[in-house]
Structure 1
């Protein structure tokens, strides 16, 4: 499908045939991810009466979900969304349903619910990377693709804010396990509607084209590792910073004798800033290539967090955190765009999955690191350390950009053999 007007808008995305239906289906399935973590945590706590057990179960679920994401994405690239996602989503939804049934009443055996959580995490469908890969296949205008990725990131932010609200509404009238069952229904119905969309059905498995084109799997994987270094490093740095901020905001509220409820408002300011930054990032026709923008965005995030360390009141902290959030979605969107542009044919979904894994893994490490630092260092210095993580990633990205590699475009981070980014706004087909 060809690019649209001279300056395509967000609305141009949904004028593409079946785009609105496909995007809505994917977001329905991804709402499950905003619901499931809190729902499983509340369910496990209610069943076992132990926060330690609940934390362990969630760590198992999260680790399997995050670190196996590239392997699941490889199945999408090899077999196509329809053949891979339907069995994956059915198994995942079935395991969540089994978890909900087992943990409906207190007293369920801990090994059983832990095993079900572990297995469900291993099967989590990579709907986000797959949706972005579909956008990359059907959108041929680089500016319109930027808007697609930006909108995707903003809506995902809204879903992760909305998910806990959905859980809160469910537990008013039913056990927390009912929210786990709702998560299973959302992911299964959303995935089914997504893969049955004509837009998704029209995208052939990239690996099939790769086989005919002679681009070997081993060569593709080697190229993928090389070209993903910069977006993955920045995504990791952003994740580290964000994971630390969640815990540091809680510590700030406690030290200033505010109730736990105000934490949600400060973190909502972070999400609001991210959503606004994402929408603006998508609407601007940038002159700088993504490879040049990426370290600037990550560095600006780090500087904003340094400013948050100087806050002396909750209002000032909320403003500083919102300013930091303003650069989160643009940095991640740019990372995804770079990964998509540089991915060899047949590896597009995996490229996005690696960036997604880097964000989530960085967030987990950031939270754990902040937990070790709080109480040992002044809180302002802890915020400075969280900002330094993003700035270090920015410096590494910028340094990598200035180090040419044989067969690579160091300015854009696109390796030889990948689909290059051209300067007039159009993107060459893969």
Structure 2
């Protein structure tokens, strides 16, 4: 009778030495990101009287925040305990400057846009840093997927709670104070996170990756880093496509919810967040079971294709939903499949990048997802205005379906580092049935040499 590989449970993960401190600090720092978007929009709009200026400031922040991979590489090479306090302090100062400008009634739009640009440049990669800690604590694939699932649950909950807190604080104390409170929370979380000894170790090379070449690395490959690894860039294209197709569904959800009532959009978005949290927990439980053993050994491209296909079908069902009740069912499926998809992508990024335990591996994934989501959100808004909410759902379904087809086709030509022996690949030096290539293999090679 076969038994599943030992997978660390949720309680054991949370009890690992140093983990409670890191999670508490990271929760504070991530909560600041969850409150930042709405706080910035409200603060800039109240100071300038223009939603266009607020949107421009937020868009510029998104563009400059795409420098996250460079900052993550700096964390991996120099050390998170040195870089993270500096970036957290600079980010808090940038938010404080924006809050002072908004509270002081500065109406010049370039001032707010410049402040948002600076904030994006110095914003620290908190999420990838936490995942790097989890990667170093969980070398086996099953425990790592469970840890990433727990991380996805925490992140989903914070980004569901953050806008509510920001709106409440802005209404009671003013948008400028809401932005200043975001700065204080982030600084506290960032500095507390840097104290942890778990951030002292830099990322190591992936055990599933092939040994590095003895030849000196070219300057171009050194600059590209994980982008030069086989299959890693393809994974980023996949994440860009899923961000392009999945995240803009929120625009269609809000538009459809407004037709049902004033409170419906918030409730529908809450359904997405809660179902994503439940999906992350369920996936983490599944990978530790006997069935999960086969799932862990499957090609990640096959798993990603199935999850993307499920999301595509659910988005199409949302487009055809005759009422709010059916729409809720479709959104539950979208959210429940979204968290496992992110977990598998992060795990594959660790393996493909050759930076197992490094922050840069998953930072590129976040950047690709955010770029796709930004473009998709703008496109979804235009589709809703021109053709209604169903068109945005159909567009999201089509994009994620294309991503699923691409991932399914990729599984036939996946690079060995994408799966490895732990994921069902054949280990080097092993025969067809997993036995060492003994005398027969050596004899055949000697014949070929003669």
TM over 0.5: yes
Deviations 1:230-249 (A, max 9, x none): 43233222212233211112
SS of the aligned residue for 1:374 comes to helix
Structure 1: segments with no counterpart, 5+ residues: 415-419, 426-430
C-alpha spacing 1:253/1:6, structure 2 compared with 1 (3 Å): closer
1:278 and 2:280 correspond: yes
| Residue 369 of structure 2 corresponds to residue 359 of structure 1 | yes
SS of 2:105's equivalent?
Answer: coil
Per the TM alignment, residue 284 of structure 1 is displaced from its structure 2 partner at its CA by 1.0
1:6 aligns to what? 6
Question: How far 1:94 sits from its partner (Å)?
Answer: 0.7
Range with greater deviation from structure 2 (339-348 or 275-284) = 339-348
Q: Which moved more, 1:99-108 or 1:89-98?
A: 99-108
- What is the aligned counterpart of 1:322 among 325, 332, 354? 332
Change (3 A) 1:279 1:424: same
Aligned match for 1:237, one of 222, 234, 241: 241
Change beyond 3 A, Cα 1:218–1:15? farther
2:75 aligned residue: 76
SS of the equivalent of 1:125 reads coil
Q: Which residue of 330, 336, 346 corresponds with 1:336? A: 346
Q: Structure 2 CA distance, aligned partners of 1:168 and 1:223?
A: 39
1:102-117 equivalences in 2 (<5 Å): 102-117=101-116
Could you say if the C-alpha distance between residues 400 and 363 of structure 1 is closer, same or farther in structure 2, counting changes exceeding 3 Å? same
The aligned counterpart of 1:146 is 145
* Aligned CA distance change for structure 1 residues 7 and 107 (closer, same or farther; 3 Å): closer
CA distance, structure 1, for counterparts of residue 149 and residue 99 of structure 2: 34
Where do residues 267-306 of structure 1 align in structure 2 (5 Å cutoff)? 267-285=269-287, 286=292, 287-288=294-295, 289=298, 290-306=300-316
> Could you tell me how far apart the structure 2 residues matched to 1:375 and 1:349 are?
39
Determine helix, strand or coil for the equivalent of 2:103: coil
Residue 424 and residue 382 in structure 1: after superposition, are their counterparts in 2 closer, same or farther (change >3 A)? closer
Aligned ranges 1:28-177 → 2 under 5 Å: 28-65=28-65, 67-177=66-176
Structure 2 CA distance for aligned equivalents of residues 383 and 87 of structure 1: 42
Q: 1:188 to 1:167 in 2, by over 3 A?
A: same
Q: CA deviation at 1:348?
A: 2.8
Contact 2:133 2:357 in 1 (8 A): no
**1:389 corresponding residue in structure 2:** 399
| 1:205 to partner: Cα distance | 5.7
Deviation at 1:151, TM superposition (A): 0.6
Query: Which residue does 2:252 correspond to in 1?
Result: 248
Q: Is the 8 A contact 2:246 2:400 kept in 1?
A: no
Alignment check: 8 A CA contact 2:32 2:182 kept = yes
Structure 2 counterpart SS, 1:340 = helix
Q: How far has the Cα of 1:251 moved from its partner?
A: 2.4
Matched residue, 2:446: none
Aligned-partner Cα distance in 2 for 1:421–1:122: 40
The CA deviation at 1:15 is 2.0
TM-score norm. by structure 2 comes to 0.84
Q: CA RMSD in A?
A: 2.6
Aligned counterparts of 1:177 and 1:341: Cα–Cα separation in 2: 43
Q: Distance in 2 between matches of 1:365 and 1:345?
A: 29
Unaligned runs of 5+ in 2: 206-210, 426-450
- Indicate how the Cα distance of structure 1 residues 170 and 191 shifts in structure 2: closer, same or farther if over 3 A, else same: same
| Distance (Å, rounded) in 2 between the aligned partners of 1:39 and 1:275 | 24
Q: 1:380 matched to which residue of 2?
A: 390
Residue 190 of structure 1 is matched in structure 2 by 189
SS at match of 1:173: helix
Counterpart residue number, 1:27: 27
Say which is worse superposed, 224-233 or 288-297, in terms of deviation.
224-233
For structure 1, which segment, 167-176 or 292-301, has the greater mean C-alpha deviation from structure 2 after superposition? 167-176
1:224 aligned partner? 227
Output one character per residue of 1:146-197: Cα deviation in whole Å (capped at 9) or x when no partner.
Answer: 1110010110000001111211231233111111111111211111111111
> Could you say which residue in structure 1 is the equivalent of 2:429?
none
Q: Aligned with 2:387: secondary structure? A: coil
Kept in 1: contact 2:29–2:188 (CA 8 A): yes
Q: Partner of 1:335: helix, strand, or coil? A: helix
**Count of residues in correspondence between the two structures:** 407
